[in-house]
């Protein structure tokens, strides 16, 4: 650009190259928020609201970043279960604990699970990072040491995260039998099979399923679904394993739903009101409610959730000796250790290694 033309821009505010302007920091935060899933944003929002309320109650001050290290140490002590000479206890005053529960900032009185405690700290750390608030107290060696010892203490107590049971083939068939031939029944059957048979899709992926990414194979009657955005593909890269098959029973169920609903554009799985009219897309929360409701109708455990479809697909693949590489292509897992984490106790009991004394007898 000619130098003389630059004079025309003299009215613009000058930026400091050594630091970010406030508006730039806000823009970065907005971009990062937009790039996250709705579930993640809601999770972060809930966690930060809890931090703010707890901080106000504990220190009678407005919540600001960066937080001092002693505050984070106090938060851990307030919410981690520990044993004393008088029994189990936490640092959170009982009156404050009751207030947090009564006002729905906390689900129940008492200690946090280790997963919840780690999540609260991770969100706080992320908040410092996004706000360029330094130093980050969560990175402090004292905080790291205390949370490490807390994890070990929980493990010694046998306190671990409970995984939801897996919807493997047998309970899945039972679940599908609960879906009748009504419009809702056809939708729910198609939704369940679409999620399970295409690799165990997450609730958000089912909610966002769109006709623009659904490819009908007219020769076979089957479908391919292009999964452009997922937890493991957040940049929307198109690759061979981004195409998920919807075949066999799943394809037929999907075809039945589309024929009955007369849908051919927009979101695939929609709300249906009491009068039978089709509305907007189903939310991830609604999808979880549908799965739990159908499980109740089928007489299945109330512990089953939408995530049980994903763990069920992986567990069933293991039972049928499907190569792990093929399973990972379907589920989209990038880390084999994460995949193995879905395997359930039933697989251990069915292992040949568990029957060494009987083998060959």
Q: E-assigned strands of the chain? A: 82-84, 87-89, 214-217, 222-226, 243-246, 270-272, 278-281
Q: What is the pLDDT of residue 240?
A: 62
Q: What is the pLDDT of residue 179?
A: 95
Q: What is the pLDDT of residue 155?
A: 82
Q: What is the pLDDT of residue 287?
A: 95
Q: What is the DSSP string of 144-158?
A: HHHHHHHHHHHHHTT
Q: What is the pLDDT of residue 138?
A: 94
The more confident residue out of 234 and 266 is 266
The more confident residue out of 128 and 349 is 128
The more confident residue out of 107 and 246 is 246
Q: What is the pLDDT of residue 281?
A: 94
Q: What is the pLDDT of residue 72?
A: 94
Contact 242, 225 (CB under 8 A): no
- Give the model confidence (pLDDT) of 163-194 as tens digits: 668 899 999 999 999 999 999 999 999 999 99
* Token output for 145: 């040491």
Q: What is the pLDDT of residue 359?
A: 63
Instruction: Indicate if the pLDDT at residue 265 is higher than 80.
Output: yes
- C-alpha distances (whole Å) from 164 to each of 206, 338, 347, 358 are 19, 15, 15, 31
Q: Is 292 exposed, middle or buried (0-12, 13-18, 19+ CB in 10 A)?
A: middle
- Give the model confidence (pLDDT) of 4-56 as tens digits: 565 555 555 666 666 555 666 566 555 555 555 566 777 788 888 999 999 99
Average pLDDT, the chain: 84
Cα separation of 347 and 316, whole Å? Answer: 9
Mean pLDDT of 200-220: 93
* Token output for 144: 């790291």
Q: At 82, phi and psi to the nearest 5?
A: -140, 160
Percent of the chain at pLDDT above 70?
78
Instruction: Indicate if the pLDDT at residue 295 is higher than 90.
Output: yes
The more confident residue out of 301 and 235 is 301
Contact 284, 253 (CB under 8 A): no
CA 7-11-16 angle, to 5 degrees, is 95
pTM (two decimals): 0.62
Confidence of residue 342 (pLDDT cuts 50, 70, 90): low
**Which residues fall within 8 angstroms of residue 220, CB to CB, at 6 or more apart?**
247
Specify the CATH number of the domain 169-352: 1.10.443.10
Cα separation of 103 and 85, whole Å? Answer: 32
Q: At 279, phi and psi to the nearest 5?
A: -115, -140
- Give the model confidence (pLDDT) of 78-125 as tens digits: 999 988 878 888 889 999 999 999 999 988 899 998 889 999 999 899
Confidence of residue 1 (pLDDT cuts 50, 70, 90): very low
Chain centroid to Cα 192, Å, comes to: 18
Chain centroid to Cα 51, Å, comes to: 21
Cα separation of 114 and 120, whole Å? Answer: 10
Cα separation of 266 and 210, whole Å? Answer: 6
Chain centroid to Cα 265, Å, comes to: 27
Chain centroid to Cα 114, Å, comes to: 17
Mean pLDDT of 220-238: 71
Residue ranges of domains in the chain: 22-156, 169-352
Protein fold of 22-156: DNA polymerase; domain 1 (1.10.150)
């Amino acid at each position: 650009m000619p130098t003389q033309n630059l004079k025309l821009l003299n009215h613009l505010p000058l930026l400091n190259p050594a630091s970010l302007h406030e508006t730039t920091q806000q823009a970065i935060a907005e971009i990062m928020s937009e790039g996250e899933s709705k579930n993640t944003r809601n999770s972060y929002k809930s966690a930060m609201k809890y931090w703010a309320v707890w901080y106000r109650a504990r220190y009678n001050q407005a919540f600001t970043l960066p937080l001092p290290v002693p505050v984070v140490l106090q938060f851990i002590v307030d919410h981690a279960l520990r044993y004393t000479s008088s029994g189990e206890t936490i640092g959170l005053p009982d009156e404050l604990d009751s207030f947090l529960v009564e006002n729905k900032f906390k689900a129940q009185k008492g200690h946090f699970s280790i997963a919840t405690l780690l999540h609260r700290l991770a969100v706080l750390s992320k908040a410092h990072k996004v706000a360029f608030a330094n130093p980050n107290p969560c990175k402090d060696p004292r905080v790291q040491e205390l949370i490490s010892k807390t994890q070990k203490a929980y493990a010694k107590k046998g306190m671990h995260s409970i995984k939801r049971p897996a919807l493997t083939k047998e309970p899945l068939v039972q679940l599908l039998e609960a879906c009748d031939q009504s419009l809702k029944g056809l939708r729910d059957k198609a939704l369940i099979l679409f999620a399970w048979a295409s690799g165990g899709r997450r609730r958000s992926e089912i909610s966002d399923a769109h006709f623009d990414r659904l490819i009908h194979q007219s020769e076979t009657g089957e479908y391919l679904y292009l999964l452009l955005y997922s937890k493991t593909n957040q940049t929307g890269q198109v690759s061979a394993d981004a195409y998920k098959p919807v075949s066999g029973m799943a394809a037929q169920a999907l075809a039945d739903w589309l024929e009955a609903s007369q849908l051919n554009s927009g979101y695939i799985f929609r709300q249906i009101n009491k009068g039978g009219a089709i509305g907007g897309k189903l939310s991830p929360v609604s999808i979880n409610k549908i799965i739990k409701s159908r499980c109740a109708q089928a007489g299945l455990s109330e512990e089953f959730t939408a995530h049980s479809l994903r763990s069920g697909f992986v567990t069933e693949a293991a039972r049928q000796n499907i190569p792990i590489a093929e399973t990972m292509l379907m589920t989209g897992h990038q880390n084999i250790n994460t995949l193995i984490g879905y395997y359930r106790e039933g697989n251990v009991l069915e292992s040949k290694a568990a029957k060494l004394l009987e083998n060959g007898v």
